[in-house]
Amino acid sequence: MKTRSLRIALAQINPTVGDLAGNTAKIADYLERARAAGADLVAFPELAVTGYPPEDLLLKPQFVRDNLAQLRRLAATCHGITAVVGFVDLADDLYNAAAILHDGEIVGVYHKEYLPNYGVFDEERYFRRGGESPIFSLRGTTFGVSVCEDIWYPVGPPTRQAMAGAEVLVNINASPYHAGKRLFREKMLATRAADNSAIVCYVNTVGGQDELVFDGASAVFDQQGQIVARAVEFAEELLVADVDAEAVFRARLHDPRRRQAIAAEPTASQSAVLADVAARERPPLEARLAAPLEAPAEVYQALVLGTRDYVHKNGFQKVLIGLSGGIDSSLVAAIAADALGPEQVMGVSMPSRYSSAGSKDDAVALADNLGMAIKTVPIEEMFGAALHTLAPSFQGTEPGLAEENLQARLRGNIMMALSNKFGHLVLTTGNKSEMATGYATLYGDMAGGFAVIKDVLKGEVYELCRYRNTLGEKPVIPPAVLEKPPSAELRPDQKDSDSLPPYPILDPILHAYVEEDRSAEEIVALGCPEETVRRVIALVDRSEYKRRQAPPGVKISPRAFGRDRRLPITNRYRG
């Protein structure tokens, strides 16, 4: 007796939102690769045709019609292989959908049932939830198709499909990254596979889209919940694996609980048998099981990919970075050089009367180590002229924050002027600790097109710099940058600790307040000084108006400013 098996390909691709023709061409290319690999079925990510998330493009009827036209073109070319493709369906309403393409036709459509409406997700704004969970039979194996969120629920569409006989559960995704999510996600998928005695094939999109990064890490789990194949993280890949439906059948014979569950629960609503493709000779395949990345390599790769895709997908080639010789700009420069190539990165040193010789030297050393260009544009003459111009208005006052921030704003003007002249994108260098507390200057160091490390706490900045220095033949970030106290250098002998609590104290408070929504009393109970806690909370709350004016940046935490954490600017609640 022949073993019932399918060769399944998971096409972990990097689509671009709105590039319908480009995305369709990429899908067609990977479909051909899957066919060449002898795959019976190939699955593509959620909304692969449109890119994810398409947001208010979905409110344009022509966009929806164009996406349907591209899907029909794909279907017409799909011969000798079955494909599952994410798209936007239009029936009585809009649906986040998966099409099953077979023998030149669209032979089935699944509508996503669970629509996430939390964190970065806003799907109920655009889509109607589906209500049917069809299953399909191909080469003697029954499979079900679901979309992303559907599999996160213990009893959802994949469970109903398994109860109706689906031996393989194909789940297509656009699951955004945050640090540690892969491990949590894989535990969930392993549980779904084991609970349903089914093979779970999970395909995820990869790439950057505005603030979001998708990590890929597509995977296959057997009926016991063991991972048997995994794609790389943060890169495109066609993951191919042979799955054994006969092993699923044997496992189910040994689990009488399943029969009781089938009697008690509704199952899939319809099924379709797909005509077999021509039999082909193929040797057994050893599936790839890529080693997972560990922190901080995982976070660093997310920042690199998010930066690369934001720059390239928005039509830029080169970037500008203000190099102060400090830790933050050093990390941003390293990420940019790794993402784009050092020849596409220009550092700009803008020393003032308060810039130390060490900081200026460190900026040059960093640029040399990375192999990127650096130019020096002193601001002293501009600063002196600005002080002279403002002297009548500032008469009778003591020098203070306005004069300090004036330097940052002059630097912002220089960076934007260079950007305007040469068409390069400005990358800002503020970290999450600074963005949280307002320790950043509007129209100064916040001015730019993309904020690479806006979701990276200061302590994590140091960790990522130390990690980057372990790569390659020699460290690229000068030791002095890692050792000297952080300083904005906007007044004599200035240190960040003059204005903020030390970062080892500040960062845990920010994590508790921003990412966990703990109250002041709860944070104090964790062992943090009450006066410091209340001061930090006040700084965070008062700085919301600044954050609303900041450029987008890569999300790497479970709760990032912007798409995740959305508080009113006008707000008197303090807690």
Maximum distance among all Cα pairs of the chain, rounded to whole angstroms:
96
Number of alpha helices (DSSP H) and beta strands (DSSP E) in the chain: 18, 20
Angle at 257 between CA 241 and CA 225, to 5 degrees: 25
Q: Nearest Cα to 309, choosing from 211, 235, 207?
A: 207
Q: Nearest Cα to 297, choosing from 475, 477, 468, 507?
A: 468
The torsion of the CA quartet 51, 55, 58, 64, rounded to 10 degrees, works out to -10
Q: Which two tokens stand for residue 353?
A: 């009367």
Q: Are the CB atoms for 166 and 268 separated by under 8 Å?
A: yes
CB contact burial 317-340 (16+ within 10 A = b; e otherwise): ebbbbbbbbbbbbbbbbbbbbbbb
Residue 268, φ and ψ in degrees, nearest 5: -60, 150
Residue partners of 342: CB distance under 8 A and separation at least 6:
370, 371, 372
The torsion region of residue 497 among left (phi > 0), alpha (psi -120 to 50) and beta comes to alpha
List helix spans (H) across 254-356.
257-264, 297-313, 327-340
Q: Is the peptide bond between 53 and the residue preceding it cis, with omega within 30 degrees of 0?
A: yes
Q: Which two tokens stand for residue 419?
A: 């950007």
Q: How far apart are CA 103 and CA 275, in angstroms?
A: 8
Provide the 3-class DSSP secondary structure of residue 146: strand
List helix spans (H) across 341-400.
357-370, 380-394
Q: How far apart are CA 73 and CA 290, in angstroms?
A: 33
Residue type, 407: Q
Q: Are the CB atoms for 446 and 571 separated by under 8 Å?
A: no
Q: How far is CA 194 from CA 169, 363, 497, in A?
A: 12, 54, 52
Residue type, 58: L
Q: Are the CB atoms for 438 and 539 separated by under 8 Å?
A: yes
Q: Which two tokens stand for residue 127?
A: 């889509």
Q: Nearest Cα to 7, choosing from 81, 57, 105, 69?
A: 81
Taking residue 141's Cβ as centre, other Cβ atoms within 10 Å add up to 23
Q: What letter would DSSP give residue 106?
A: E
Q: Is the peptide bond between 296 and the residue preceding it cis, with omega within 30 degrees of 0?
A: yes
Residue 90, φ and ψ in degrees, nearest 5: -125, 115
Place of tokens 């073993």: 3
Residues annotated catalytic, as ranges: 46, 112, 148
